[in-house]
A and B are shown apart, each in its own frame.
Chain A
Amino acid sequence: MTPALLVAGFVVIGGIGMSVVQSLGLAPLVGQARLSLDAYGANSTELVTGVGLSLAIATVSTALSCVIGLAAAVIITQGRVTGRLVAALSAITIPIPHLIGAASVGLLLSDAGILPRMLGISSSDWPDIVGGAWWVAVVFEYTWKESAFVALVVAGVLASRVARYDETAALLGASRARRLRHVVIPLARPAIIVCAMIIFVYTLGSYEVSWLLGRPYPEPLPVLAFRLFDSITLTSRPEAAAVAVVTTLISLAAVGAGMALLRRTPLWN
């Protein structure tokens, strides 16, 4: 019991605590410790655009993953051959690291990628999916990986608990659409909310996909924090910590909102 708690507690509480301390200028690499909020104001424009951009990427990726993942879960539990096919392919996606996924999506969707080659579209006519203004490739990668995660979790719930209710509703004459609307979705809701929470926090704080498939400017929060952290200017460490604190606050707010939603779900004990 205690060792696990020590490790997790040290990393979580220490990580957040030391980020706050550094961002307030209390642990500078050189010079006097002085309490100030300078680190938060130093990159205020980048910070504000970063917050907006990261929120947008995380929200869109989460929403798309949940919709596609739910569809996949329904197919997995209802179709026989089709269900097995979708289950196998989505399970293969699960152990692929996000970085590898990003590298592969780059090879697929860039203007010299496989898709324009297969569709016979020249590089100049191909839209800027990788590194474009709309961050399409980044959202695509997140949605691809995380929809498989949603499919796995929700299919597990549907197979174990929902199947009986669904069969009963079918026997009582409910149509497919009504069963989906009134049986499957309400019963899968707690699992979907938990998945959405995990995906949102992950996509908000993940660096490698945005760095590899995004554009240099504007930067999402993790990319901004990385640049400041690696910068040679001595004042930039507190500024990186400030970005980290802002990201943490958004994550905690998202988790809080998710838990509040869960508590309002009748199925949550």
Chain B
Amino acid sequence: MAMMVPYGQRVTPDDRTTGTRGLMRPRPVDRTVRIVVAVLLSVWFALPVVPLLLWMVADRWSFPSPLPTEWGFSGAVSAVTQGAVPAFGRSLVLGLVVAALATPLGAMAARALTKGSVPAPRLVSGILLAPLALPAFVAVMGLTVVLLRARVPGLVSVVILLVAAAIPYTVYTMRVAYAAHDMAYEEEARTLGASRWHVLWRVHLPLVAPGLARAAFLAFLVGWSDYVITVLVGGGTIITLPLLVAGAASGVGNSAVVAVLSISAILPPLLLLLLLGRFGRRYPVSNLPGSGSPRSRSSKGFL
């Protein structure tokens, strides 16, 4: 009586089978423990976001009251008067520039490393990953002197330092992508007479697009959420969203403004994450007749 269970589906066995099969025996205690732990973990991950959601729409919230005493949007209004909109724009541009620079750099390095055409590959990948092991403020404090004497504009210095901070993520993500990438498709296209550019645009990039999207997301996150590098190098002249949040949060009595600014700093990356989960997961196999390669599908999950 072999029982065929379709992969990924769950069957509810009857009492006779469960009694004799250990694996199918219901375990109410295990189940309860799992649910309790899961609820605790859910509270753990969700709780720190709750104050932002409540304060965002609170005009007044006198102390002992468990909920806001007056609801409204005065927090949003004063956030806008403090320059939230241009700061949001600056953060967005900074994130996009860092992503636009660090993603191709990381992709090229990862491709060279995967192809094995790099001398001393261990040393090279060590240097590429090293910014992860170096606290950002160390790099800034060491290099401001050099960058100032070379008369590099502050904004350019910020971008250079942020790109370096993003490179470990893009290199690592693209190495994972290229490990699952089959170079034979490109060779095939070349054999069939496609030019190098044609191969790059029509074969290579579409195949690694999900990896590129993940790498660009992580690089965007580095530029978008940076505080230390912007404040130290920019010296307070480049006002991004995190700088506004820090200024508001270090003071007293502007909880509503802090909440509005924080939510507006969370939403763009969250939207990108959702888009990534929706579209960046796999290449639409149906568009590539005959290439239902399981490899292109196996690279889900980001990082």
Could you tell me which A residues sit within 8 Å of B by CB distance? 1, 3-5, 7-19, 22, 27, 68, 71-72, 75, 78-80, 82-83, 85-86, 89-108, 112-114, 117-118, 120, 122-123, 141, 144, 147-148, 152-153, 156, 159, 170-171, 173, 176, 198, 201, 204-208, 211-212, 222, 225-226, 229, 240-241, 244-245, 247-248, 251-252, 255
Contact = CB atoms under 8 A, between A and B. Distances in A.
B105 interface: yes
Q: A-side binding surface: helix, strand, loop or mixed?
A: helix
B23 A170 contact: yes
B55 interface: yes
A244 B141 contact: yes
Contact of A208 (B142, B228, B266, B270): B228
A107 B141 contact: no
Contact of B128 (A8, A96, A117, A208): A8
Contacts of A117: 63-66
Contact of B224 (A12, A97, A229): A97
B262 A103 contact: yes
B78 to A, nearest CB: 16
B135 A204 contact: yes
A68 B22 CA distance: 29
19 contacts: A10-B160, A11-B164, A15-B138, A22-B141, A96-B269, A97-B224, A104-B51, A104-B259, A107-B258, A112-B63, A156-B303, A173-B22, A176-B30, A201-B133, A205-B138, A206-B228, A208-B246, A222-B135, A252-B133
B41 interface: yes
B45 interface: yes
A97 to B, nearest CB: 3
Contacts, number: 250
Given A118-B66, A208-B228, A240-B141, A14 B246 contact: no
Given A11-B143, A95-B270, A201 B132 contact: yes
B179 interface: no
Interface in B268-286: 269-270, 272-273
A225 B232 CA distance: 11
B133 to A, nearest CB: 5
B160 A103 contact: no
B142 A14 contact: yes
A117 B132 CA distance: 39
A45 B131 CA distance: 29
B127 A12 contact: yes
A104 B246 CA distance: 11
Contacts of B118: 1
B227 to A, nearest CB: 5
Nearest to A212: B249
A235 to B, nearest CB: 15
A17 B142 contact: yes
Main secondary structure of the interface of B (DSSP, over half): helix
B132 A198 contact: yes
A3 to B, nearest CB: 5
A12 B139 contact: yes
Nearest to A209: B227
A247 B41 contact: no
Given A107-B259, A152-B303, 12 more contacts: A8-B167, A12-B130, A16-B134, A95-B269, A97-B265, A99-B245, A118-B66, A208-B227, A212-B246, A229-B137, A244-B137, A244-B142
Interface string B132-174: 1111111111110110000000000000110111011001000
Contacts of A71: 37, 41
Given A95-B273, A100-B265, A107-B259, A85 B38 contact: yes
A130 to B, nearest CB: 11
A114 B34 contact: no
Q: Which bracket fits the contact residues of B? A: 35 or more
A123 B273 CA distance: 38
A103 B249 contact: yes
Which 8 A-B pairs give the minimum distances between C-beta atoms?
A205-B135, A97-B225, A15-B139, A82-B38, A95-B269, A11-B164, A18-B142, A107-B51
A95 B221 contact: yes
B11 interface: no
A211 B232 CA distance: 14
Contacts of A222: 135, 137
Given A15-B140, A95-B221, A120 B66 contact: yes
Interface string B235-270: 000000010011011100001001100100110011
B141 A19 contact: yes
B139 A171 contact: no
B139 A108 contact: no
Nearest to B220: A95
A152 B273 CA distance: 13
B44 interface: yes
B87 interface: no
A44 to B, nearest CB: 19
Contacts of A14: 139, 142-143, 146
A99 B164 contact: no
A15 B134 contact: yes
Contacts of B167: 4, 7-8
